[in-house]
Chain A
């Protein structure tokens, strides 16, 4: 059986502009399995301003709408490079089928999409883009998934989500059609961090495991070193009397960083105030209450004991505090400095080189965040005014990704039969391919953009065996069959609808209402022999016994010789007593032996037989 897997438009190209090096990419994979077509993720390429940012759907079908072609769409998590093109695909290209994603993803996706839309349309003045209504219409098509719950998309296609770590609500997905299956990892992380657990999957042995190759080629710096860098920067700024602004999205990293700062402040006995804008607190609490099962053990315990944001050193922010003298740290939304409180604070603090802004994640083009991360030091604000950016700008990546070790761990967990690594690099990844193939003895495919991969699978065909047949086989004795030494057995295979059954022939005939027919062959052989009938028979018996060693040969009192189940009778010819007529009779099953006997006896009996 062959899966056709077409990789569509996946590109991971580093978009380095003046030292920023924000790596961007887009995920959108089309899988054909058992006659079903599934789209995995539908990301926007954030590095482009033109149509190249959307996946090229004409690849799938020339005549516009995708509903007939796709059986379902699955979104792994809320990052824009995985879901940014979803409203475009469903509302502008056209798709009305189900879109599957986890509950947290469903809650957070529309918020990010709307922010993204506002920035792109309102700020950048783009026209060929999806509208707010389109986002809402798109989300109406979403069917939420729970972890480890099998969902029947239709009679043949089923999917199941697994915990992926990485961000709140991120999932790896297992797709099964009949006896064939694929697992798509999306973005995942194999080590738990302060607020999320590690990815986990059972030994589901999919035919194919699909993952990003970037994981396999990185060796991650430890989490503590990243945290150290963050704390060091904050501390340096505070020590010189500066103010630190940390723009965050309501969820995820914000909690992590708060916990970190709280611990540090406690340990170092620091006095500078840390603030958290209230809008953030409410939203975050709300989401955490909803999705508590998605965070890790530690957070869950803490949450039960107290409110998420009851920190000793972190207080609620009031916008008047931004003008207070002296050092302070403020967490404010939104994360890309494109509007709201974080932008207001930024405008106030940008002019002082003692201050600092720490960007904890990727910023979309068109936002202030994106501009300053690209080294821009003069910004055009509303009303033609310019803002001189004198404060220190720091870009830190806290996103949790697996690495070379992690991908090997995942393969070990799931035990796929084939591996597929999606990559955007031009370099031939021979080493990587070799490493996976050697370690796990499986094929590793690494197609480039737009390339089609055909993966051959050995589906196992389950067949029920009737108890009688099984008992009969067991009664034959001998060693029990094992996978390395299979034993041949005979039976009749009945295929009814989608089930296969192995039964004995008699039972098959009965079930099918057929009569059993027996084929028997008879053959007459003439022999010259002067003895009496019974003596001739005895001579035949002796002869056969000497020739056919190892066979069951009996001389029966009723005047017949039996070789296995073949019957031999002797009678004299009416005209001549010396001409004997041998009657051989055998059933179809003993045809070979029967033919052999008739040929043998036609040669006559050797002299010297007594």
Chain B
């Protein structure tokens, strides 16, 4: 009797959320993968890769977005709302990081167990297979501190070079075809990285978990510029750091403190905020990302089952509670009440569509949503 009531309550809450969503989302698609993913990587404006993270066998899939979402003209005449699995492959370990090499059919993955990267070719030859074509050596297997989430970060260039490393001490630029190491980041520290991003053709930002940001140029042997975090007494010591393509930096701590620095001074604090953290705090997955097509907006996940959008341009210099511009609660609402608490494992902005995001959760759900900016 009780479980029947719970089931009805659950259905009602779900219905409520869907009703409400008609006003708050332009588009909403809800999918269920067979296995949850920690990675969401665009391989084009229409295709995205996901992969499992079981300790042993996993699948890597390349999915094509539903035609209905992509049809701008005559959208009403298109009925197709499903993802199409266009390519697939198998891997023996978990996939903790997946990066597409722009302009190619190539993707690069890391299993979080070593610093090595696996190189894959997606399709080609009229086949739907994703095949392993090579490996890139990371730092050699000397004893490393076993750090939680010591995953490799990878950034790829159009000329088939990958910048990779799990810590600031082992960042290197490797040419994929030859395996040759073209550049290494010279630094004494060995902090785990939370992000690695190119802000120009050769200039990149490496964000560390202690809040340090290194800015370097792969073309010069000159040492990187170091920007420590603009901390105040009482500030936490662990940060998720993310750079926008324009060079702005946001640092987010596990307890929800956020500091935004603009491009001109990655060490300064242009704005501070206190973001909502649900009880239970932060999970390991998720993170913070800048919107590629919206000024100053970031999306934050990893705090429970929601994805929240914030506008950093409104952040004051003294930290204050800042409400999100938008909150996507879909994963929380649609997870079964009896199941374990669901966590968002990954989220990503669409590269061109300003308000379209993809988010994935620990229960295998993947949501594709286009939110409506209520403030406008």
Give A contacts to B, CB under 8 Å.
18-23, 216-222, 224-229, 231-233, 235, 263-264, 267-268, 373-375, 392-397, 403-405, 408, 426-432, 434-435, 438
A267–B22 Cα gap in the complex (Å)? 14
* A219-B33, A228-B18 as given contacts; A428 in contact with B82, CB under 8 Å: no
Interface residues on B, range: 35 or more
Instruction: Name the distance in Å between A505's Cβ and chain B's nearest Cβ.
Output: 53
Q: Which one of A225, A393, A430 contacts B129 once the chains associate, using CB atoms below 8 Å? A: A430
Q: Which one of B82, B89, B125, B129 contacts A221 once the chains associate, using CB atoms below 8 Å? A: B82
Supplied contacts A221-B81, A432-B128, 17 more A-B pairs, CB within 8 Å:
A19-B74, A22-B79, A217-B84, A218-B84, A219-B83, A219-B84, A221-B31, A221-B66, A222-B31, A225-B28, A228-B21, A228-B28, A375-B74, A427-B128, A431-B130, A435-B59, A438-B90
* A21-B67, A221-B31, A228-B21 as given contacts; A431 in contact with B88, CB under 8 Å: yes
* A217-B84, A426-B126 as given contacts; A222 in contact with B32, CB under 8 Å: yes
The residues in B between 1 and 58 inclusive whose CB is less than 8 angstroms from any CB of A are 14-15, 18-19, 21-22, 28-34
Supply 25 A–B pairs (Cβ within 8 Å), ascending by A.
Answer: A20-B74, A21-B78, A22-B79, A218-B83, A219-B63, A220-B31, A220-B82, A221-B66, A221-B82, A222-B31, A225-B18, A226-B81, A229-B81, A231-B22, A264-B19, A375-B74, A397-B81, A405-B32, A408-B34, A430-B129, A431-B88, A431-B128, A431-B129, A432-B128, A435-B90
A434–B128 Cα gap in the complex (Å)? 11
User: Does the CB pair A430–B81 fall under 8 Å?
Assistant: no
User: Does the CB pair B89–A228 fall under 8 Å?
Assistant: no
Instruction: Please encode chain B, from 80 to 113, with 1 for each CB lying within 8 Å of some chain A CB and 0 for all others.
Output: 1111111111100000000000000000000000
Chain A, Cβ-Cβ closest to B30:
A222
A375–B80 Cα gap in the complex (Å)? 16
A274–B130 Cα gap in the complex (Å)? 51
* A222-B31, A432-B128 as given contacts; A392 in contact with B59, CB under 8 Å: no
A287–B16 Cα gap in the complex (Å)? 33
Assess whether B127 is interfacial by the CB under 8 Å rule: yes
User: Does the CB pair B34–A429 fall under 8 Å?
Assistant: no
Instruction: Name the distance in Å between A44's Cβ and chain B's nearest Cβ.
Output: 21
Chain A, Cβ-Cβ closest to B33:
A219
Assess whether B148 is interfacial by the CB under 8 Å rule: no
User: Does the CB pair B31–A19 fall under 8 Å?
Assistant: no
User: Does the CB pair B85–A225 fall under 8 Å?
Assistant: no
Task: List the 3 shortest-distance A-B pairs measured between CB atoms, nearest first.
Answer: A19-B74, A431-B88, A397-B79
B129 surroundings in chain A (CB, below 8 A): 428, 430-431, 434
User: Does the CB pair B77–A268 fall under 8 Å?
Assistant: no
Q: Which one of B22, B32, B73, B127 contacts A219 once the chains associate, using CB atoms below 8 Å? A: B32
Q: Which one of B19, B77, B85 contacts A217 once the chains associate, using CB atoms below 8 Å? A: B85
A496–B184 Cα gap in the complex (Å)? 82
* A224-B18, A225-B28 as given contacts; A427 in contact with B127, CB under 8 Å: yes
Chain B, Cβ-Cβ closest to A431:
B88
Assess whether B76 is interfacial by the CB under 8 Å rule: yes
Q: Which one of A23, A224, A395 contacts B30 once the chains associate, using CB atoms below 8 Å? A: A224
User: Does the CB pair A394–B126 fall under 8 Å?
Assistant: no
Chain B, Cβ-Cβ closest to A362:
B79
Assess whether B71 is interfacial by the CB under 8 Å rule: yes
User: Does the CB pair B31–A428 fall under 8 Å?
Assistant: no
A227 surroundings in chain B (CB, below 8 A): 18
A263–B67 Cα gap in the complex (Å)? 29
User: Does the CB pair A395–B76 fall under 8 Å?
Assistant: yes
A218–B81 Cα gap in the complex (Å)? 10
A217–B76 Cα gap in the complex (Å)? 24
A23–B81 Cα gap in the complex (Å)? 13
Instruction: Please encode chain B, from 254 to 280, with 1 for each CB lying within 8 Å of some chain A CB and 0 for all others.
Output: 000000000000000000000000000
User: Does the CB pair A392–B76 fall under 8 Å?
Assistant: yes
A434 surroundings in chain B (CB, below 8 A): 90, 129
* A221-B30, A267-B19 as given contacts; A397 in contact with B126, CB under 8 Å: no
User: Does the CB pair B31–A219 fall under 8 Å?
Assistant: yes
Instruction: Name the distance in Å between A406's Cβ and chain B's nearest Cβ.
Output: 11
B125 surroundings in chain A (CB, below 8 A): 428
A408–B85 Cα gap in the complex (Å)? 15
Instruction: Name the distance in Å between B23's Cβ and chain A's nearest Cβ.
Output: 9
User: Does the CB pair B71–A19 fall under 8 Å?
Assistant: yes
A268–B78 Cα gap in the complex (Å)? 28
User: Does the CB pair B128–A430 fall under 8 Å?
Assistant: yes
Instruction: Name the distance in Å between B150's Cβ and chain A's nearest Cβ.
Output: 30
User: Does the CB pair A232–B67 fall under 8 Å?
Assistant: no
B83 surroundings in chain A (CB, below 8 A): 218-219, 221
Chain A, Cβ-Cβ closest to B80:
A21
A396–B78 Cα gap in the complex (Å)? 7
User: Does the CB pair B82–A403 fall under 8 Å?
Assistant: yes
* A219-B85, A228-B21 as given contacts; A19 in contact with B77, CB under 8 Å: yes
A397 surroundings in chain B (CB, below 8 A): 79-81
Instruction: Name the distance in Å between A4's Cβ and chain B's nearest Cβ.
Output: 27
A540–B84 Cα gap in the complex (Å)? 85
A217–B254 Cα gap in the complex (Å)? 39
A268 surroundings in chain B (CB, below 8 A): 19
B127 surroundings in chain A (CB, below 8 A): 427-428, 430
* A431-B89, A432-B88 as given contacts; A395 in contact with B82, CB under 8 Å: no
